[in-house]
Amino acid sequence: MTRVRVPGRFTLVLHSHLPWLINHGRWPVGEEWLYQSWAHCYQPVFAALRRLAADGFTDQLSLGITPVLAAQLDDPAATSSMYEWLADWQLRAMEAALDDDPDRRISGHREYRAAAEALADFERHWRHGGSPQIRELLSTGVIELLGGPLAHPFQPLLDGRLRRLSLREGLADAQLRWGTRPSGIWAPECAYTPGMETEYDAAGVGHFMVDGPTLRGDTALGRPVGDGDVVAFGRDLTVSYRVWSPKSGYPGHAAYRDFHTYDHRTGFKPFRVTGKNVPGETKKPYDPSLIDAVLDAHVDDFVDCVRKRLIGESERIGRPALVVAAFDTELFGHWWHEGPAWLERLLRRLPEAGIDVGTLATARRDGFVGEPVALNDSSWGSGKDWRVWEGPQVEHLVRLNDKVTETALHSLDKRRDGTPPARDTVADQILRETLMTVQSDWPFMVSKDTAAGYAQDRAYKHAHATREICEAAASGRGHRAERLAAGWRRADNVFGALDARRLEDR
């Protein structure tokens, strides 16, 4: 029985992103990260969205997909390697199913079935990359697509010319892949500094995400920023932290599959969380029969939380309120094995509970917008400031980014002084390597000590490529610069449409 309609609207926002990983290591950090996320997150989440669309659901969530992730999902080498990865998953499962250990055999049978399902789904839907899937979902109206800057930079710390170029090129990349130019974006790390809204407006962006504290906790409506029409939507932490916070959330329930504990003999994760402080060697085997009841309880709990929040916020502001919950897409399936099932059940349950569901675009269209606001420097990282990306632990990367950007822009400006407007592959590659250097992922991984060595190696490798090409060009060794640019281009086959001629004049 449907409950009495709840005032206001709920919006779910998912941010899908991985740094460029192809040809940069395999395990424990590298391509394996891409293939795990693809199999355990993107495949089941997209399958859930297809089922919802088939049942007539529309405007279910705002889905952000960064250009650098989209490029990997479309890369022919990645799709081929992904197919091999799925087949290897099934082969490893067959071996586990023959093991002497009974728990390992049970895990092997379960993994074999999961691998077979993933292979069939990949063959049917993903063989030609991610873009056909995204276009299909867009055509059904089940999602709003959010774009973003080209290589996921921490925008407030980026040179203005490079920042504006990265945004324009990111939106153009979306148009090229999916036949649509997003009107909204997920700003990398939800990072903001005053003035960025004018750049968004100039690029055709009408709305973007910030974290709740950026709006001083008042996230009940989108807010135009300054004197313009660009709207900032804030993440409601009361609701979002119900699922996942720095300290707690549903994925930590004892019955769910544990993400961190491996069976190193098979490479699988056959254990359940068991308890918050239980060491890996004493965790209990994963038991799928325990999951349904827990999932339903967590869906009901979240629905109840949203319902109470909508009622309370609507009463507080004296009009129907908006509640926005936002997460990394990779939480659903990659980090939280049961996440995709929870997500689909939630989206089916919300309207049954009388809760209206929509996207950021429909919220703006339907007037869930309040008075203008002035915003301060912010992000969704620790402290809600910039410390993760410019703190003492990453000062060396901040200096590196500044120096590489200065070198690259000087070289690019010099190359086009007095030259005809022809495509310059050397300049294009300088720009690509610079953008790969300043990705926000590298300082984040160092600050959080998650594969910090890998992150630093990546940043310095792209910085070296930038400098190497620039130095050859500056010394008049044009042929060497061309060879270096071509070599680095082959190493990272990404952003082929990037054209340095579109960089603003100094």
Q: How many residues does the chain have?
A: 506
- What tokens were used for 75? 């890369």
List 103, 199, 328, 499, catalytic entry? 328
Residue 1 pLDDT > 50, yes or no?
no
Residue 418 pLDDT class (50, 70, 90 cuts): low
328 included as an active-site residue: yes
Q: What is the pLDDT of residues 13-24, one digit of tens each?
A: 999 999 999 999
DSSP state of 9: E
Q: What is the pLDDT of residues 240-270, one digit of tens each?
A: 999 998 788 999 999 999 999 999 899 999 9
What was the pLDDT predicted at 506? 82
What residue has token string 């479309």?
A: 74
Residue 422 pLDDT class (50, 70, 90 cuts): confident
Q: Are 246 and 269 in contact (CB under 8 A)?
A: no
What was the pLDDT predicted at 238? 96
What residue has token string 């056909």?
A: 132
The CA–CA distances, whole Å, from 493 to 75, 88, 413, 430, 477 equal 8, 25, 24, 14, 24
CA 241 to chain CA centroid, nearest Å: 18
Strands 61-65 and 143-147: parallel
Strands 231-234 and 223-224: antiparallel
Q: At 120, which amino acid appears?
A: A
% of the chain at pLDDT higher than 90: 94
**Cβ neighbours of residue 206 closer than 8 Å, sequence gap 6 or more:** 183, 184, 200, 229, 230, 231, 364
What's the CA gap between 94 and 381, in Å, rounded? 42
Query: What are the beta bridge partners of residue 10?
Result: 323, 357
What's the CA gap between 183 and 33, in Å, rounded? 29
What's the CA gap between 416 and 424, in Å, rounded? 9
Name the average pLDDT for the chain. 96
Q: At 16, which amino acid appears?
A: S
- What tokens were used for 152? 């996921």
- What tokens were used for 228? 């313009």
What's the CA gap between 245 and 474, in Å, rounded? 49
Task: Work out the average pLDDT over 318-326.
Answer: 98
402 included as an active-site residue: no
Residue 420 pLDDT class (50, 70, 90 cuts): low
pTM, two decimals, is 0.96
SS (H, E, C) 206-241: CEEEECHHHHCCCCCCEEEECCCCCEEEECCHHHHH
Q: What is the pLDDT of residues 148-161, one digit of tens each?
A: 999 999 999 999 99
List 59, 144, 169, 189, catalytic entry? 189
What was the pLDDT predicted at 417? 76
Domain covering 9-194+247-365, topology: 7-stranded beta/alpha barrel (3.20.110)
Which ranges of 55-140 does DSSP label H, i.e. alpha helix? 67-74, 76-97, 102-125, 131-140
Q: At 37, which amino acid appears?
A: S
DSSP state of 244: B
SS3 26: coil
Residue 27 pLDDT class (50, 70, 90 cuts): confident
Residue 95 pLDDT class (50, 70, 90 cuts): very high
Q: Are 430 and 503 in contact (CB under 8 A)?
A: no
Q: Where are the beta strands (DSSP E) in 352-398?
A: 357-358
Closest CA to 145 of 380, 360, 367: 360
Q: What is the pLDDT of residues 189-202, one digit of tens each?
A: 999 999 999 999 99
Residue ranges matching CATH 3.20.110.10 in the chain: 9-194+247-365
Dihedral of the alpha carbons of 94, 98, 102, 107, in degrees to the nearest 10: 0
Residue ranges matching CATH 1.20.1430.10 in the chain: 387-502
SS3 49: helix
What's the CA gap between 388 and 398, in Å, rounded? 11
Please give the CATH superfamily to which domain 387-502 belongs: Families 57/38 glycoside transferase, middle domain (1.20.1430.10)
Q: What is the pLDDT of residues 109-142, one digit of tens each?
A: 999 999 999 999 999 999 999 999 999 999 999 9
